[in-house]
Structure 1
């Protein structure tokens, strides 16, 4: 079965590719900007998760949250930006949503958050894959 023509027209539209990448990377851009404008909060967040030196981890987090989306949105080295954000998201999920150590409602919420983050990782794999395919066919 082929894709219906109206849906194909939407999927083929150049804006769709950009808007999809923006939707996927938007939370990271926002997170990076918020951390950049609240440096003390960014450092405190890293310390809360036991990452030391907290200032170094805050700077690395900001860099990943801003550079990764820039590469994806520019569709230049999108594989690198997607890889940066995918690895970052997986590590953050393991660190912040260790549901296997929790009980009760806390475990339920952390389990959901963990698997939502895995979904984002899958989204970044798709971005890298689609970017690669589009590059080959350009």
Structure 2
């Protein structure tokens, strides 16, 4: 961490920082998966609203990926699998729910912003996977 001030490097070395970062990155997915599980009919309706049929299948897949993928990332086990699944789910959501190229006006502006926010999450999953692989190498 040559480019970081000493206080930043000291903060990043704290043992609670990366677990907290992993929880924060997946928090929306974990909460979303649990909420969908508790309100399955609404989760099915959401999938149908976005043109994904059969809705129950897509809702079930989303719930599984959101919860299982989040737990993989949080516990830093099979991070590549959990982060990869969440990234794939995010890309599907970006293409289905944030299709800004088909919209105009304010709706286009909102969808465009959301699309690129989700793209940032995909990049965060790549970085978490990279960091997890480095942590494993340094422990061996």
Q: TM-score range by the shorter chain?
A: over 0.9
**How many residues were matched structurally?**
138
TM-score (norm 1): 0.97
TM-score (norm 2): 0.96
Report the equivalent of 1:79. 80
SS of structure 1 residue aligned to 2:113: helix
1:104-138 CA-partner distances (Å, limit 9, x unpaired): 11101100000000000000000000000111111
Task: State the 4+ residue runs in structure 1 displaced beyond 4 angstroms.
Answer: none
Report the equivalent of 1:7. 8
1:23-72 CA-partner distances (Å, limit 9, x unpaired): 00000010001100001000100110111111011000000000001001
Task: Give the Å deviation of 1:2.
Answer: 3.4
Report the equivalent of 1:114. 115
Report the equivalent of 2:66. 65
Q: Distance in 1 between matches of 2:125 and 2:136?
A: 16
Q: Distance in 1 between matches of 2:102 and 2:46?
A: 20
Unaligned runs of 5+ in 2: none
Q: Distance in 2 between matches of 1:109 and 1:102?
A: 10
RMSD between superposed Cα atoms in Å: 0.8
Matched, 1:44 2:45: yes
Q: Distance in 2 between matches of 1:28 and 1:54?
A: 18
Task: Give the Å deviation of 1:3.
Answer: 1.9
